[in-house]
Amino acid sequence: MLSFFCLSCPFVIIVAEHLCENGGAVLDSQKLMLIDGNSLLYRAFYALPLLKNSQGLYTNGVYGFLTMFNRVVAEQKPSHIVVAFDMSKQTFRNDVYDAYKANRSAPPDELQGQFAVLREVLSALGIVYVEQAGYEADDIIGTLSRRAEEAEIPTVIVTGDGDSLQLVSPQVNVLMTRKASATSSYTIQSRSKRNGRLNRTNLLRLRA
Q: What is the DSSP string of 141-201?
A: HHHHHHHHHHTT--EEEEES-GGGGGG--SSEEEEEEEETTEEEEE-HHHHHHHHSS--HH
pLDDT (mean) for 129-140: 87
Contacts of 125 (CB under 8 A, 6+ apart): none
- DSSP single-letter state for residue 86: -
Residue 95 neighbours by CB distance under 10 Å? 10
Domain ranges of the chain: 35-207
Q: Which of 78-87, 101-110, 154-163 has the lowest mean pLDDT?
A: 101-110
Query: When comparing pLDDT for 7 and 188, which is higher?
Result: 188
- Mean pLDDT across 25-41: 80
Q: What is the pLDDT of residues 149-175, one digit of tens each?
A: 988 999 999 998 888 888 999 999 999
What average pLDDT does this structure show over 13-27?
A: 46
Compute the distance between CA of residue 192 and CA of residue 33 in angstroms, rounded to an integer.
22
66-81 pLDDT, tens digit per residue, is 999 999 999 999 999 9
Average pLDDT in the 103-116 region? 85
Give the CA distances from residue 69 to residues 34, 47, 78, in Å, rounded to whole numbers and listed in that order: 11, 15, 12
* Whole-number Å distance between alpha carbons of 153 and 155: 6
Q: Which CATH architecture has domain 35-207?
A: 3-Layer(aba) Sandwich (3.40)
CB atoms within 10 A of CB 50: 12
Give the residue with greater pLDDT, 178 vs 40: 40
